[in-house]
Amino acid sequence: MNQVSQHILAPFTSLRVISVGSLSFPSSFTISNSNSNSNSNSNSPPFLLRYFSVRAMASHVVGYPRMGPKRELKFALESFWDGKSSAEDLQNVAAELRSSIWKQMSDAGIKFIPSNTFSCYDQVLDTTAMLGAVPPRYGWNGGEIGFDVYFSMARGNASVPAMEMTKWFDTNYHYIVPELGPEVNFSYASHKAVIEYKEAKALGVDTVPVLVGPVSYLLLSKPAKGVEKSFSLLSLIDKILPVYQEVVAELKAAGATWIQFDEPKLVMDLGAHELQAFTHAYSALEASLSGLNVLIETYFADVPVEAYKTLISLKCVTGFGFDLVRGTKTLDLIKGGFPSGKYLFAGVVDGRNIWANDLASSLSVLHALEGIVGKDKLVVSTSCSLLHTAVDLVNEPKLDKEIKSWLAFAAQKVVEVNALAKALSGQKDGAFFSANAAAQASRKSSPRVTNEAVQQAAAALKGSDHRRATNVSDRLDAQQKKLNLPILPTTTIGSFPQTLELRRVRREYKAKKVSEEDYVEAIKKEINKVVKLQEELDIDVLVHGEPERNDMVEYFGEQLSGFAFTANGWVQSYGSRCVKPPIIYGDVSRPKAMTVFWSSLAQSMTKRPMKGMLTGPVTILNWSFVRNDQPRFETCYQIALAIKDEVEDLEKAGITVIQIDEAALREGLPLRKSEHAFYLNWAVHSFRITNCGVEDSTQIHTHMCYSNFNDIIHSIIDMDADVITIENSRSDEKLLSVFREGVKYGAGIGPGVYDIHSPRIPSEEEIADRVEKMLAVLECNILWVNPDCGLKTRKYAEVKPALSNMVAAAKRLRTKFASSQ
């Protein structure tokens, strides 16, 4: 392997040894290595092979994290994008990661091991490539789709913008939204699924190839630009099925015996026409699927009654996968009737959180299901892909031992799946189950989990809706008198580029290699640089750039009680972007001020308004691994009280503009409409709690990231923020349609004028054109001009010209207004 790949993969061997945190192996366990799929050259210690190689009751994993235990894929991608390594280097790293994941599951005794769940960006984008559904602007002329076209669709390039990116259901993962219409000519243009199946087979691992199901793919798409918004995406089903048939034929020829179709849209509220599309699609595929075992996998919620009936009536399907963690009501449907002779893939191991499975409880559920579907038809599975959890506890040597005993990352969840499968087959490991029971009991009784004062304060919130006393129109007048801003005021969302030098300083301070005095001086210098740059660009409301922050959630969690942190608990958000969610294990409170020092310092460097920058309670909740021993809203109210203390301290320190980001508010919206109102009520209430005590002249901003907001616009208005900045540019101004339809919005609003997730630099004319489209539906006295999101991931060479063009566009339009008046 070349030098670049060796450097990136140096720490990767941890994937081949499965850690189970504090859970111990029985010393007398001596079953021999009989795993026919296991590579005899595995580097795993012999006792691990003896333990994990047992082929017990059937076990299955829906999917696995792609980034690697030390973010190897992230660094390989960014090296390739920066031109520092080749496509071959990137392919080598990806192949090493896939190989290690497959071997890990094989060594663990997993029977149904997935392939084609690995992606260099996103599994929906992989499906778009497979179908040859490349928008014309990328200049693809046929043939196998390579990295150039693939990454242009994901990230844009110098001449054309990227495709829209939005949240994957109610997770913090983002997918690339397909752009479809009646003129799209679908063709088999990426053989990735077959290539990776053969790759695993050559390693001695027989896998289950996974495809995004044809109906979910279409329902996750949008009409392309220029196509009527009313266009029925499902009308394309007969055009994409021939490509699926080609893929299936190749997989069968390669030796595949099972195939998994992910159809997560089945958990949504679907109409009869949409459910009929599932019946039609799988009937049309029936002949092609003959001779294959077919699994349809659902996840993230209960399957509604009508969807369940549709699903189990599909004739060509061998097995059905259900999320029995977030979809407990599905159990009642299964008990009410499950098709004879079919496999049930029971998702009892949580793929969305990091708490150790309550093995005794899960085993009880499985025994009940065994009586319904039969012992030979029950498969123990994860609730969804483990993509949404951290990789391996073995990489957390400094994590508190008691808390660590309560946890299970992806590698440990693989072990839990197999342990449950073995127990069902009569090979229950008493020591493993006993250690798990002890950890469960420890968590329930630990005094570090409960703080009576916090619980009482949160309980007392129920008597008020915590609204500010004055309406937003009057508040904006009071704020304008103090701030004296021009029309179309410019600002940014918060963060500025985090350079290698800046990251080094933070890393060395954390490792106690530099003094606090030197650290403060370095951060002060960085803040001063960011302030001066914004003044030179003539931005109206400034930010300090957040150089002291590693992550917008982790930074606050580190200063709040009830949180724990990992060294390598990274989870993919999109592309190469990873986040390291904090772990909320107990009651939350704020011991001391968190941001006042830095915000006050930044304000002292300028006469312009300096925003205080906070992360809101709903976003902290939704971007953390949250305790599962109390309702989520109770934890959110506790966080809201902590942020409220910080808001009021900032105001006392003279900060007159305070931004409370709720980037993830929409993300937490339940998938079923019947549950929306309850969530939105406590989520919006939590935000209002944070700022209900400030003066009218203190301007409260909030920010929201990529998502579909139109269906919750009234809840956004109900947040009662003075100014909201919100993603808009990458979604073809979809947000603006809600205002065209007559929704009245009286607060300040800044729909993003350019996409910061792409390296592309927008022109002044392009930004001015976007703002003029906004002015067609929004009053100029409430409109703000700002990027889509924070600038942390961009380079200064991109940020400076983009912001310069943004300010120039705002000034051009101000001049136009002045002359017209």
The helix/strand/coil state of 154 is helix
| Three-state DSSP class for residue 208 | strand
Strands 577-579 and 571-574: antiparallel
| d(C-alpha 49, C-alpha 37), whole Å | 12
Cβ within 8 Å of residue 681, ≥6 positions away: none
The alpha carbon dihedral of 302, 307, 311, 312 has a sign of positive
Compute CA 548 distance to the chain's CA centroid, rounded to the nearest angstrom. Answer: 24
Among 327, 320, 354, 384, residue whose Cα is nearest residue 123: 384
Catalytic residue among 388, 466, 701, 757: 757
For residue 702, the surrounding DSSP H or E stretch is strand 699-704
Query: Taking Cα atoms as reference points, which of 229, 307, 231, 232 lies closest to residue 268?
Result: 307
CA-based torsion, 140, 146, 149, 154: positive or negative: positive
- 757 as an active site residue: the answer is yes
Q: What is the DSSP letter of 134?
A: -
Distance CA 702, CA 258 (A): 48
SS3 label, residue 781: coil
Quote the tokens at residue 291.
Answer: 């001779």
Residue type, 708: N
Q: Could you tell me if 59 and 110 are in contact, meaning their C-beta atoms sit under 8 angstroms apart?
A: yes
Nearest C-alpha neighbor of 560 from the set 646, 478, 628? 646
Cβ–Cβ under 8 Å, residues 588 and 458:
no
Q: How far apart (Å, rounded) are the C-alpha atoms in residues 373 and 26?
A: 31
Phi, psi of 782 (to 5 degrees): -115, -5
CB atoms within 10 A of CB 756: 24
The residue whose two tokens read 């919620």 is 301
- Residue whose tokens read 């005094």: 447
Distance of alpha carbon 132 from alpha carbon 140, whole angstroms: 9
Beta strands of 2-67 (E only): which ranges? Answer: 59-60
Residue 247 phi/psi, 5° resolution? -65, -45
Helix (H, G, I), strand (E, B) or coil at 796: helix
Task: Measure the CA–CA gap between 723 and 363, rounded to whole angstroms.
Answer: 50
Residues forming beta bridges with residue 660, ordered by sequence position: 614
User: Rounded distance, CA 790 to CA 599, Å?
Assistant: 17
Alpha helix segments (H runs only) across 337-429: 359-373, 401-405, 410-424
Instruction: Print the SS3 string covering 473-520.
Output: HHHHHHHHHHHCCCCCCEECCCECCCCHHHHHHHHHHHCCCCCHHHHH
Give SS3 for 28.
Answer: coil
Where do the DSSP E strands lie in 229-363?
Answer: 258-262, 293-297, 319-323, 343-349
Q: Give dist(CA 147, CA 813) in Å, integer.
A: 39
Instruction: Supply the residues annotated as catalytic.
Output: 757
